[in-house]
Structure 1
Amino acid sequence: MNHKTALLVIDAQVGIIEGTNNDSVFAKDSLVHTIQALIEQARTRSIPVLFVQDEDVRDGLGEEAFAIHPSLSPLPNEPVVWKRATDSFHGTDLHEQLQELGVTHLVITGCKTEYCIDSACRKATTLGYDVTLVKDGHSTSDNAALRGEQIVAHHNTCLHGLSNLHPFIIVRPSEEDVLVPSHDSYR
Structure 2
Amino acid sequence: MGNTALLVIDAQVGIIEGPKFGPVFDKERLLDTMKNVVGKARSEGVPIIFMMDTEIASPISIESQVHPHISPTRDDITITKKAVDAFQFTTLHDYLQTLDIKHLVVMGCKTEYGVDTTCRRATTLGYDVTLVADGHSTTANNVLGAEEIIAHHNCTLHGLDNIENFILVRDSDENIFTHRHSDFKK
Which portions of structure 1, spanning 4 or more consecutive aligned residues, are displaced by more than 4 angstroms?
none
Per the alignment, residue 74 of structure 1 pairs with: 72
Per the alignment, residue 86 of structure 2 pairs with: 88
Query: Offset at 1:46?
Result: 0.8
Which range moves more in the overlay, 3-12 or 87-96?
Answer: 3-12
Separation of aligned partners in 2, 1:9 and 1:98: 14
Root mean square deviation, CA, Å: 1.6
Q: Is the 8 A contact 2:104 2:129 kept in 1?
A: yes
Which range moves more in the overlay, 159-168 or 22-31?
Answer: 22-31
Query: Offset at 1:58?
Result: 1.7
**Higher helix proportion, which one?**
1
Separation of aligned partners in 2, 1:22 and 1:117: 15
Structure 1 residues 70-149: aligned runs within 5 Å: 70-149=68-147
Per the alignment, residue 9 of structure 1 pairs with: 8
Q: Which amino acid aligns with 1:104?
A: K
Separation of aligned partners in 2, 1:56 and 1:22: 11
Q: Which amino acid aligns with 2:181?
A: H
Q: Is the 8 A contact 1:3 1:105 kept in 2?
A: no
Q: Is the 8 A contact 1:5 1:179 kept in 2?
A: yes
Which range moves more in the overlay, 62-71 or 17-26?
Answer: 17-26
Gaps of 5+ in 2: none
Separation of aligned partners in 1, 2:16 and 2:60: 14
Gaps of 5+ in 1: none
The TM-score normalised by the length of structure 2 is 0.95
How many residues are aligned here?
Answer: 185
Query: Offset at 1:112?
Result: 0.2
Q: Is the 8 A contact 2:52 2:79 kept in 1?
A: yes
Per the alignment, residue 17 of structure 2 pairs with: 18
The TM-score normalised by the length of structure 1 is 0.95
Query: Offset at 1:35?
Result: 0.8
3-state DSSP class of the match of 1:58? Answer: coil
Separation of aligned partners in 1, 2:36 and 2:66: 16
